[in-house]
Structures are given as C-alpha cells and as structure tokens.
C-alpha cells in the first residue's frame, strides 16, 4: 500500500472529517478526469464526482486497512459512470436525430458553427467525438486502457467482466474510433 | 484486394497480446499483404493518438473544490455535533496541527533523549555543586 494512503487511513481513524477531506483532495482530480473524459460534459462529470465520493465516504467505515484505496476508488468511479449513463437513457441527447434526420445539436444555433470549424478538426477533437459516440462499456474500456494505461487484467477486475470481454470491447472500440478518424481525414496529407 | 485476415490480430500484435504462433503467421502474412500493411500503419497511428496523454488533458473547474464542502457535509450529516463539540474539536485540531511539525524536525528525538539523560544526571550534579558551595562557605567562615 502507498504510504500516503496508509497515512490517510490513519488520520481518518483519528479524525473522520479530516481524513475524508484528505481523501477527497487526493483523488478528486483522478475521479473527475475519468468522469469528464467519459461524459464530455462538465456538469455530468461534477455530478458523477460527487456521487462517487459520497459513495466512498459512506462505505469508508467498512474499508479494510490491508487493501489499498486507489483500486477501490477506480472501481466505484467506473461503476458510477456506467450506471450513470444507464440511468440517463430516457433523457434527450443533443446527438439524437430528429425526424428530418438532423441532430438536435445541429439545429441549435451556435456562434462557432462556421465552416472552418467543420472543415478543420484537430486530432484531439476528432478523437473526442469518436470516443463520445462509443457505447458505454466500450468507451470505458478504451479510456481505462489508453488514457489510464491499465493492463487488461486490471480492466477486467475493475469493470467486473471476463478478460475475453475486455479484449472484445477494446477491439470493437478501436475499430469504430479508427473508422471515425479516417472519415475526418486526420491522418491525411 | 480482399484479405481474409482477422484484423483483430493486428491490434493484438501492436498490444503484444498475440499468441506466439499467430504472431509468426501474421508477420509472414504482412510481408505479402499490402492491405494489411496499410491497416497496420493506420492502427499504429491510432495507438499513437489514443496513448497520447495530452489528448485527455482537461482543465479542472473551480466547482470541484466547492462540491467538497457539500460532500463532507453530507458525510458528516449522520453525526450531528453540538456547537461546543465543534469548537472543542477545532481547538484540539489546531493544537495538534501546531505541534505536528515536531515529528519532522531532524535530531529532535536525539536531543529529547539527551535532555532526559541530563535530567537523570542532574541530581548528582546538584550534589556536587552543593558540596562545593559548603566547602566555599566553610572557607569563608574560617577566614
């Protein structure tokens, strides 16, 4: 276990409030980064971060000292993210297409909806768009593998799916993202 | 140009998760198949972009600090404390915090031990000093 994790737990035992505060300071950016890259939306990411920490703090008393905190935080974050999308399925998404075939977000006028922005997209944006469109599980697996550099085994453990499923999710996700980037013409020229 | 090779194998090749036998097979195949070589190049580019951490850099909003209080409040909500207890706790925390640096001052433990030893040694020193004093007074009295 990390020395600082042990220290956080020690402080938590003496003083709950202070321990929780330290825990939050230590992991909030980690959780927020995953949540943001998963939802691509500040409000949703903040909501998620809040949910994750409330659930961490609630079960903090039952946390065994011999385990380390980070994998536990990762697991809760991943679960919350995946459930979050499941809960929100009924909500209207801006990417939803209306009867005429246009996406809702295209119908809303936007100050930067000029031709230059649609013609020129940088890699980051193209990647972001592609990842955003992936199904939840594929998106999460891809982020954990490539953003967080996790091993397949770790992803399987955290997402609570078999190793083979992780491979399949990643294969499919990469294929979709590649097609999307090729369509955007990022690698040309 | 209609290659039947499972493109998944190319991904596994780049990830290093490919079976050794399949690896040999794919490497041989790549020598002959232009389509797969092209696919492999594209996949390399994709992996490069996917693994580029700067693509995931985000700015952390100020609200993240603000929700901290909200969360802590919710967590603490179960054990409502009286004002006196809160003030008492704050005082105790302050006291503890103000002395915390002592744990990290180098050489403090050794000097503490020295002081302790000094205190133990003190009685004999006092004895010697008083003896000297008595001697001195006698000397004066004699005169």
B31: in domain = yes
Tell whether the model's pLDDT for residue B11 goes beyond 90: yes
B96: in domain = no
What confidence tens digit (pLDDT) does each residue in A4-50 have?
777 888 888 888 788 888 888 889 999 999 999 998 888 889 999 99
Q: In this structure, what token pair is assigned to residue B88?
A: 């008492």
B18: in domain = yes
Q: What is the DSSP letter of B77?
A: T
Cα(A176)–Cα(A163) distance, integer angstroms? 20
User: Which domains does chain A show, CATH number per domain?
Assistant: 3-87 (1.10.1740.10), 112-184 (1.10.10.10)
| Beta strand residue intervals within chain A, DSSP E | none
Q: Tell if the pTM clears 0.80, that is, is over it.
A: no
Cβ–Cβ gap A46/B68 under 8 Å:
no
B100: in domain = no
DSSP states of A123-145: HHHHHHHHHHHS-HHHHHHHIII
Instruction: Pick the last residue of a domain from B25, B40, B56.
Output: B56
Cα(B11)–Cα(B47) distance, integer angstroms? 9
What confidence tens digit (pLDDT) does each residue in B47-104 have?
999 998 888 888 888 888 888 888 887 766 655 567 788 888 888 888 888 888 877 7
B72: in domain = no
- Chain-centre distance for alpha carbon A63: 24
In contact, B64 and A32? CB cutoff 8 Å: yes
Cα(A14)–Cα(A19) distance, integer angstroms? 8
Tell whether the model's pLDDT for residue A178 goes beyond 90: yes
CB contact B127 to A (< 8 Å): no
**Tally of domains within chain B:** 2
Number of continuous H segments (helices) and E segments (strands) in chain A:
10, 0
Instruction: Pick the last residue of a domain from B21, B41, B56.
Output: B56
Higher-confidence residue of B16 and B132: namely B16
Selecting from A21, A36, A57 the residue whose C-beta is nearest the C-beta of B58 gives A36
CB contact B60 to A (< 8 Å): yes
What domain range is B129 assigned to? 108-143
Cβ–Cβ gap B55/A149 under 8 Å:
no
B44: in domain = yes
B37: in domain = yes
Residue A39 phi/psi, 5-degree rounding, is -95, -25
CB contact B116 to A (< 8 Å): no
Cα(A40)–Cα(A20) distance, integer angstroms? 27
Tell whether the model's pLDDT for residue A171 goes beyond 90: yes
A25 neighbourhood in chain B, CB within 8 Å: 68
Cα(A145)–Cα(A142) distance, integer angstroms? 5
> To the nearest whole angstrom, how far is the Cα of B67 from the nearest Cα of chain A?
7
Give A54's contacts (C-beta < 8 A, 6+ positions apart).
B71, B74, B75
Which pLDDT score, from 0 to 100, does residue B1 have?
A: 56
Selecting from A32, A128, A174 the residue whose C-beta is nearest the C-beta of B46 gives A174
Q: How many residues are given for chain B?
A: 143
B24: in domain = yes
Which pLDDT score, from 0 to 100, does residue A120 have?
A: 47
Cβ–Cβ gap B56/A175 under 8 Å:
no
Average pLDDT, chain A: 81
Cβ–Cβ gap A46/B8 under 8 Å:
no
């Amino acid at each position: 276990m990390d020395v600082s994790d042990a220290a956080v737990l020690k402080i938590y035992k003496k003083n709950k409030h202070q321990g929780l505060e330290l825990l939050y300071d230590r992991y909030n950016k980690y959780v927020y980064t995953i949540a943001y890259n998963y939802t691509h939306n500040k409000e949703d990411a903040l909501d998620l971060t809040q949910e994750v920490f409330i659930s961490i703090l609630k079960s903090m008393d039952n946390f065994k000292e011999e385990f380390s905190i980070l994998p536990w935080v990762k697991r809760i974050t991943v679960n919350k993210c995946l459930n979050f999308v499941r809960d929100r399925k009924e909500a209207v998404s801006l990417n939803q297409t209306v009867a005429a075939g246009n996406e809702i977000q295209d119908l809303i006028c936007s100050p930067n909806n000029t031709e230059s922005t649609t013609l020129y997209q940088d890699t980051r944006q193209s990647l972001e768009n592609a990842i955003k469109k992936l199904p939840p599980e594929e998106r999460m697996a891809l982020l954990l593998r490539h953003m967080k550099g996790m091993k397949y085994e770790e992803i399987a453990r955290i997402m609570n799916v078999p190793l083979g499923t992780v491979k399949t999710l990643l294969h499919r996700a990469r294929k979709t993202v590649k097609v999307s980037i090729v369509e955007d013409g990022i690698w040309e020229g | 140009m209609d290659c039947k090779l499972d493109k998944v194998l190319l991904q596994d090749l780049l990830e290093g998760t490919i079976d050794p036998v399949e690896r040999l097979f794919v490497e041989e195949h790549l020598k002959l198949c232009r389509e797969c070589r092209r696919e492999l190049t594209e996949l390399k580019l994709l992996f490069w972009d996917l693994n580029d951490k700067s693509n995931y850099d985000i700015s952390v909003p100020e609200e993240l600090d603000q929700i901290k209080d909200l969360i802590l409040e919710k967590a603490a909500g179960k054990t409502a404390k009286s004002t006196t207890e809160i003030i008492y706790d704050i005082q105790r925390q302050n006291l503890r915090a103000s002395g915390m640096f002592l744990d990290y001052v180098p050489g403090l433990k050794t000097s503490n031990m020295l002081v302790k030893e000094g205190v133990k040694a003190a009685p004999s020193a006092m004895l010697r000093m008083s003896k000297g004093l008595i001697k001195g007074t006698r000397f004066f009295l004699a005169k």
